[in-house]
Chain A
Amino acid sequence: MGYTLGIDLGTTFTAAAVFRDGRAEIANLGERASAVPSVVFLKDDTTILVGIPAERRAVTEPDRVAREFKRRFGDTTPIFLGGTPLSADLLTAKVLRWVYDTVAAVEGSAPDSLALTYPANWGPYKRELLDQTVNISGLHGARTLTEPEAAAIYYSTNERIDPGQVVAVYDLGGGTFDAAVLERIDDGFRVLGKPEGIERLGGIDFDAAVFAHVTGALGPEMDQLDPEDPATMAAVARLRLDCVEAKEALSADTEASIPVMLPSLRTEVRLTRGELEDKIRATIAETVEAMRRALVSAKKTPDEVTTFLLVGGSSRIPLVADMLTSAFGRPIAVDAHPKHSVSLGAAIAAADSPVGAVPVVTPPSPSVEDAAVPAPRKKGVLVLGLVLVAVLIGVGAFVLPRLGAGNGEGTAATVTTTARQAPVTQPVTATTLPPQPSEPPSEMCGELITSDLTLGEAVANCEGDGLVIGVDGVTIDLGGQLVSGAGTVGTVGIRLNGVTDVTILNGTVSGFGHGVVVENGGGAVLDSVVSTAHRGSGLLATGPDTVVTIVDSEFSANGEAGATFNDGVSATSRTSVFSNNRGTGLGLSGATVSLNGDTIDSNSGAGIAVIGSENQSLSTDLLATGVTLRGNQTGVFFLQGGQGTVEQSLIDGSSESGVRLLDAGEVSILDNQLSKNAQGIRAQSGTLLARGNVIVGSGLGVALEGAEANMTDNEVTLSEGNGFVVTGGVVVMTDNESSRNGGFGFEFGSGATVTDGGGNTASGNSEDCSQVCLISIS
C-alpha cells in the first residue's frame, strides 16, 4: 500500500509521519516514544547510532556524541566525534537516512514520496545545503518546506482555512522557539514578514527549572555530589529524566512528586503546577513578545489572525495557551500531539510533491556511508540502532501457513500479532528448490497407501502429492530412498489425513509444497526422516487430536518453517534438527510441543515461535529441554499468549533476543545458557520466571520492558551494554549477579516497579558503573 513520508528534523527531537488513504499518522521511530532525540553516536567501527541508543552511550563516551547539531548546519568547521571530523550536514544526512530506513522497514516498503522541513528563517545558503544533504543521503527528489508551513498544512486538513486567512504558528520545542505568521494561498501557505526566533529557549529550560526546584529543596546535599562518581552521575541523570516526566505530568495534573534516589539521599520532592508556572512565566512571556514581533513584521494585528496554532512539545504547557490568549485574545489551537504537527504536515505535503520524484530505497542502505565514515553498517548496529525495525521484521518472518489457504504460493501468510504496528509482509521464496525434473514422475507418485510399505526405489519428480496414507497403523519404511516433488504449490510429500498410528522411517522427502502433513486427528511417528527444500514447511501438523512424534529427524532448508504445529496438535521431538529454514525453525500455535535434545539453528525467523492461538480454548505450550538454539533471529519467541518452559538449553548467537516475550503467557526460562545474543532475554509483556540462567556476551543482557517478571539467581556477564535493564513492568529480583558488562550492572527506569528481593550483586561493569546502580528500586 503506497504512502508518503514526512520528516521533521528538529534541534533536539526528530519526528516522522506517514500519510496514506487521506490520513496522516505518526510514525514510531523509537521504542518508548515516537520521536527520537536528534543525537548521534559514532561507534569505534565508524558506524553511527541514532536516537536513544546514541543518547545512552553519551554517558560513557561523551566525546563520540553530537547533539543539537542543527545549530551548526552550514558551519564549515567540522564537529569532531572520537577525533573524526564530520560536518553537521553529514550528520543530518545520516539521521535523515536513518529515519527513512526505519520507517521504510516498518512499513515494509519505501514511501512513494518524501518531504522534510526546515526552519522558516533559513536563507538560500542553508536551503541549498539542505538539498545537497538530501542528495547525500540518497533521497533525491525529496520536497522541502518550512516547519510552520507544514504545521499549518496539517492544521488546515482538520479545520477549514480559506485563502487569505492568516494563521500564526507558535512553535515551542525542546531547545528553540520560533514564531511565524502565514497566509493561506491557493496551494498552501506563505510566510508573511520575518519569522522571529529565540535561540536556546525551550523545554530544556523548563526541565532545568524543575531540576533547580528539586536541588533547591535538597539544599547543600546537591553541592556535595561527586561529579567523578559514575553511580552518582547515573543517579543525577535519572533525576533529570524524572524532572522531565514531572514537567510533562504537570501539563495534565496540578501536582507531581519527583523521586530522588541519590546514593546519599532518598526522598521525594513535590512540585505544584502553580510553582512550575511561576518559574517559567518570564520565559514564556519572552516567547509571547517574539510572537508579537513576528506579527508586527508580518504587518498583521492579532485580530487579523484566524488562529494561533501551538506547535512543539512544550506548547502543551497550559500556561502557554493562557498567556497567548490574554496577550492576543484570539482562538488558540493545539493538537493532541503538538510535537508531531510539523512531521504530520510534511507527510501530507509529500503527497502533493510531483510524481516521479520517488526515491528508490533498499533499507538499510550503505549509500549513507561516505569517505568520512567508510565502514559498512554492521548487523550489530542494526540491533542496537534499529531495534524497532528488527523487531518488526522478526514478527513478519513468522510464517505459519494454514492448510487450504493457498500456502506455498511464494508469498507468506503473516501472523497477526498484537504488536503496535501492522506486521510486515515479508515475501518469502524458497531458494533451495531442486532443479526442474528432467525425468518423468515415478509411477508411485500420489499412491494411496493402505498397508505397510518399504520403498525399494525413489518416488521421484511427483507433480502432485508423493505418498498419501489411507489407513491407520501402517508403517512406511522409506528405505533410505528419496520422495521428491516438482516443487508444485499445494502438493505434499507424505500426507496423513485423519489416519492414526502411522510410522514413517528412514528416508528423505524433498521439493513439495509441504514435506509431511499430518492433519485432522492424524497420528504419526517420524523417525530418521529428512524433510527438506520444500516451498512451504518441512512438517505441517494441524487439527485437534493430531499427534506427532519426531525422533532423530531433520527439517531443513525449507521455504517457510522447518515444522509447524497448529490448532490442537500435540507433538514431541527428540534429538532432531530444524535448521536453515527461511521462516521459523519450529512454530506452534494452539499446540503443545515438547522438545528434548533437539538442535534448532540458522533459521531466518525465530528458532522456536510460540504463538497463542486465536482459538482461546487451545493452549499453546512449549516444553524445551536440553535444546540447542543457535544463530536464529530470535531464539525462542513467546507471543500472543504463547507460554511454556525452556530449560537446560543453549541459546546462542541470535541476531535479536535469545528469549523474547511479547504479550506472552506464563513463561519459565530455567537453567539455560544464553550466549552472544543481541539481547539475552527481552520481556516486553507477559509473565516471566527466569531462574538459574547464565547470560553471556549479549548486546544487552536482560531487558524487562513491561512484563511481570521474577528474576532469580541469574548471572549476566560480559554484555556489550547494560546487564539488566528494567524499564517497565512489575519485577522481583533476587540473587542475580551482573558483572563485567559494558554498561550498568542494573539499570531501572521509572516506569518499572522493581522489588529488590536481596542478594543482587554487580561488579566489574564498565568504568562508569562498577557497582550496583539501583536507581529507583522500591
Chain B
Amino acid sequence: MSKLNEAVRALLAEAVTRTTDPSQAQRLEEQQTRLNEPLRVAIAGKVKAGKSTLLNALVGEELAPTDAGECTKIVTWYREGLTRKVSFVSKDGSKVDAPFERSDGAIEIALNGHTADDIERIEVEWPSSALREMTLIDTPGIGSLTSGISERTERFLALGEDRETPADAVIYLLKHLHSSDLDFLQAFHDDDLADASTVSAIALIARADEIGVGRIDSMASADRIAARYRQEPKLRSLVQTVMPVAALVGQGGVTLTEADFRALGMIAAMEEEPRTALLLTADRFADSDEPVEPSRATRRALLVKYGLFGVRVSVALIVAGEVTSAPVLAQRLVGISGLPALRTYLQSHFASKKDVLKARSALLALSAVAAEQEAAGDPWLAAEVERVQASAHEFVELGMLGALRASTNRLKAADLDSLERLFGRDGVEATVRLGLDPGASQPEVRSSAHAELGRWQRRAESPLSEPDVVHVSRAAMRTCEGILGDLEGA
C-alpha cells in the first residue's frame, strides 16, 4: 500500500473519532468502506457518444441497452455480484430489488411506478470477471434533450460545492472537441489536488469507426485526431490521454459468429464493381435488392452489429486474403477497435493504481468535510488534508505515467522507459523503480537513487530542456528524493 493511502486511512480514522457531527461521521465512514472496494470508473459523455456500447464491450456481455434512442436515463452501476441482481437505490439511500428481464441480451428494467427523478441509481450486480477490479458506472448523456438528464450526470460526477466524487476515475467519450465537453471535464477537474486532476480521467474518441463516414481508413483518421487532441493544451490539462476506440467493431469482433463470417464472405466474393457500389453507403447496403444472398435482413443485422466500417473492413480483409476464418476475423476486428489498447491502459493506469486513485477520492471527501469544519472555526482537518496533499507525490507520478507517452517531449525511448519505471509503472518498490535486483542491498539502492537523481537534476538544469522535460525531470527528482528520504528515515 502506498504511503499516501496509509496516510489517508489514518487521517480518515482520526477524523471519524474527532467529528461530533453524525452526518460527517457517516460520510467519513462511507469513505473508509469505499477504500476497500473495487475502483469506480464512470463512463461519461455526450448523448449517443457510445457509452453503453463501450460498457458492453468492456464487460464482454451485452448488458446495457443500446438502442438508437437516448436510453440511459438513470445512473447505473455495474458491479460484480454472485448472482444476477438489479436494484433501485432511491434518493434516501434505501435499496429495493427491481424486476428485470433480458431482451436480446440487454437488461430491461421495469420501473414499477418509480420515476427517474426519485431513483438515485440502479445497481446491477453481475457475475463477471471484468467487474472484479472495476465497478463500471454508466451515466446519462451530457447535453441530453432534456436538461434534467445531463444535470443528473453533472450532479453525479462533479457535485458542485460538495466535492465528494462518487467515481474514482472517468472515461470520457467525445466525438469532437466541443465546448460543453470541456466544461464538463473542467467540472470534474479539481485544482486543489494539484497535478491530481488528470490522474483519473481519460478521453476516448468513441465511435472512431464513424469518423470519415466509415471509410476504411477511419481508424487511422481517428488515431490522428486522438494524437492531435493529446496535444491540445486545454484537453491535456484535463485528461491523461486521448485514445480512439470503435467499441461497436470490438463488440462485433467478440460476438462474431460463423454465420456472420459466411455472409461477409459472400459479399467479398462479389464482383468488385457491384461490391463497391453496395458498400458505398449504409442505406444502399441495407436496402439494395442485390445481392439476394446475403439477404436484406441479414445485411441489416450485419450493419447493426458491426457498423458500416466494420462491414467494410471485414470484407476488405477477406478480399485481400488476409483473413480466411471466423476466429481470425474476430481477432482482427477486436484489434482494430482499439479495445485491447484501452483495456491495457485501464489495467496499467487505473486498476494497478487503485490504491492511489482511491486515496484521491477519499482525500476529496475529506477536504469537503474539512471545509465545513474550517467554516465552523475548526481548521484541524483542513490542515491535516493539506499536510497529506503537500507530500502526495503519488498523484504526480500517476499523472506522469499517463502523460509521458502522449506528450511531444523530446525524450528518447530509453529515457521514457526508465522514467515510467521510476514513476512506478512496474511497481512501487524502490528496487523496481530503480531497475535493481529485488535483493539489492540498501547501499546499492542508495547509490543507484543518487545516480538517478543526478541524472534528472542535470536534465532539469540543461539549457536544451524544454519546460515539459524540466517538469518531468523535477518529478523524477522528487521520486528519487522520496526513495532517499525513506532510506534516511529507515
In the complex, which residues of chain A have a beta carbon less than 8 angstroms from the beta carbon of B234? 282, 286
Q: Nearest Cβ in chain A — how far from B233, in angstroms? A: 6
Give 1 or 0 for each of A608-641: 1 = CB within 8 Å of chain B CB: 0000000000000000000000000000000000
- The docked-state distance in angstroms from the alpha carbon of A73 to that of B389 is 11
| Pick from B383, B453, B466, B484: contact of A123, CB under 8 Å | B383
| Pick from A62, A85, A211, A239: contact of B458, CB under 8 Å | A62
- The docked-state distance in angstroms from the alpha carbon of A283 to that of B233 is 8
- The docked-state distance in angstroms from the alpha carbon of A434 to that of B474 is 62
B485 within 8 A of A: yes
Q: Which of A296-311 contact B (CB under 8 A)?
A: none
Q: Tell whether, in the assembled complex, residue A76 and residue B464 are in contact, meaning their CB atoms are under 8 Å apart.
A: no
Q: Which of A16-74 contact B (CB under 8 A)?
A: 58-59, 62-63, 65, 68, 72-74
A79 within 8 A of B: yes
Q: Is the interface of B mostly helix, strand, loop or mixed?
A: helix
In the complex, which residues of chain B have a beta carbon less than 8 angstroms from the beta carbon of A237? 463
B386 within 8 A of A: yes
Given A74-B387, A240-B463, does the pair A199, B195 have CB atoms closer than 8 Å? yes
Q: Which of B206-235 contact A (CB under 8 A)?
A: 233-234
B478 within 8 A of A: yes
- The docked-state distance in angstroms from the alpha carbon of A758 to that of B384 is 65
B454 within 8 A of A: yes
Q: Which residue of A lies closest to B182 (CB)?
A: A289
- The docked-state distance in angstroms from the alpha carbon of A91 to that of B482 is 18
Q: Which of B474-489 contact A (CB under 8 A)?
A: 474, 478, 480-482, 484-485, 488
Q: Tell whether, in the assembled complex, residue B194 and residue A62 are in contact, meaning their CB atoms are under 8 Å apart.
A: no
Q: Tell whether, in the assembled complex, residue A74 and residue B390 are in contact, meaning their CB atoms are under 8 Å apart.
A: yes
Q: Tell whether, in the assembled complex, residue A282 and residue B233 are in contact, meaning their CB atoms are under 8 Å apart.
A: yes
- The docked-state distance in angstroms from the alpha carbon of A543 to that of B457 is 62
Q: Tell whether, in the assembled complex, residue A63 and residue B383 are in contact, meaning their CB atoms are under 8 Å apart.
A: no
How many contacting A-B pairs (Cβ < 8 A)?
Answer: 103
| Pick from B385, B387, B460, B485: contact of A78, CB under 8 Å | B485
Q: Tell whether, in the assembled complex, residue A205 and residue B391 are in contact, meaning their CB atoms are under 8 Å apart.
A: no
In the complex, which residues of chain B have a beta carbon less than 8 angstroms from the beta carbon of A122? 386
Q: Tell whether, in the assembled complex, residue B463 and residue A123 are in contact, meaning their CB atoms are under 8 Å apart.
A: no
In the complex, which residues of chain B have a beta carbon less than 8 angstroms from the beta carbon of A121? 191-192
Q: Which of B356-395 contact A (CB under 8 A)?
A: 374, 379, 382-387, 390-391, 393
B462 within 8 A of A: yes
- The docked-state distance in angstroms from the alpha carbon of A630 to that of B450 is 44
B438 within 8 A of A: no
A75 within 8 A of B: yes
Instruction: Give the contact stretch, choosing among A124-132, A346-354, A661-669, A743-751.
Output: A124-132
Q: Tell whether, in the assembled complex, residue B386 and residue A123 are in contact, meaning their CB atoms are under 8 Å apart.
A: yes
Q: Nearest Cβ in chain A — how far from B191, in angstroms? A: 6
Q: Tell whether, in the assembled complex, residue B463 and residue A125 are in contact, meaning their CB atoms are under 8 Å apart.
A: no
Q: Tell whether, in the assembled complex, residue A77 and residue B464 are in contact, meaning their CB atoms are under 8 Å apart.
A: no
Given A58-B461, A73-B390, A80-B484, does the pair A199, B467 have CB atoms closer than 8 Å? no
Which of A65, A74, A123 lies at the interface centre, i.e. has the most chain B CB atoms within 10 A of its CB? A123
| Pick from B374, B461, B467: contact of A59, CB under 8 Å | B461
Q: Tell whether, in the assembled complex, residue B488 and residue A233 are in contact, meaning their CB atoms are under 8 Å apart.
A: no
In the complex, which residues of chain A have a beta carbon less than 8 angstroms from the beta carbon of B84? none
Q: Which residue of B lies closest to A128 (CB)?
A: B383
A404 within 8 A of B: no
- The docked-state distance in angstroms from the alpha carbon of A205 to that of B191 is 20
Given A58-B461, A62-B457, does the pair A78, B481 have CB atoms closer than 8 Å? yes
Q: Nearest Cβ in chain A — how far from B134, in angstroms? A: 29
A601 within 8 A of B: no
Q: Tell whether, in the assembled complex, residue A80 and residue B467 are in contact, meaning their CB atoms are under 8 Å apart.
A: no
B284 within 8 A of A: no
Q: Which residue of B lies closest to A122 (CB)?
A: B386
A357 within 8 A of B: no
Q: Nearest Cβ in chain A — how far from B426, in angstroms? A: 21
Q: Tell whether, in the assembled complex, residue A80 and residue B453 are in contact, meaning their CB atoms are under 8 Å apart.
A: yes
A375 within 8 A of B: no
- The docked-state distance in angstroms from the alpha carbon of A126 to that of B457 is 26
In the complex, which residues of chain A have a beta carbon less than 8 angstroms from the beta carbon of B18? none
Given A62-B458, A225-B464, does the pair A76, B391 have CB atoms closer than 8 Å? yes
In the complex, which residues of chain B have a beta carbon less than 8 angstroms from the beta carbon of A312? none
Q: Tell whether, in the assembled complex, residue B454 and residue A63 are in contact, meaning their CB atoms are under 8 Å apart.
A: yes
In the complex, which residues of chain A have a beta carbon less than 8 angstroms from the beta carbon of B457? 62-63, 65
Given A74-B391, A85-B485, A208-B466, does the pair A124, B233 have CB atoms closer than 8 Å? no
Q: Which residue of B lies closest to A55 (CB)?
A: B461
Q: Tell whether, in the assembled complex, residue A77 and residue B191 are in contact, meaning their CB atoms are under 8 Å apart.
A: no
- The docked-state distance in angstroms from the alpha carbon of A236 to that of B393 is 31
Q: Which of A262-283 contact B (CB under 8 A)?
A: 282-283
Query: What are 15 A-B contacts defined by CB distance under 8 Å?
Result: A59-B461, A62-B454, A62-B458, A68-B474, A74-B386, A75-B390, A77-B481, A80-B453, A196-B191, A197-B191, A208-B466, A233-B463, A237-B463, A286-B234, A286-B237
Question: A residues within 8 Å of B by Cβ?
Answer: 58-59, 62-63, 65, 68, 72-80, 83, 85, 121-126, 128, 196-200, 204-205, 208, 211-212, 225, 227, 233-234, 236-237, 239-240, 282-283, 286
Top 4 A-B residue pairs of the complex, sorted by shortest distance between their CB atoms = A74-B390, A62-B461, A237-B463, A125-B386
Q: Besides A63-B458, A76-B390, A125-B383, 8 other CB < 8 A contacts?
A: A59-B461, A62-B457, A63-B454, A77-B393, A77-B485, A124-B382, A197-B191, A240-B463
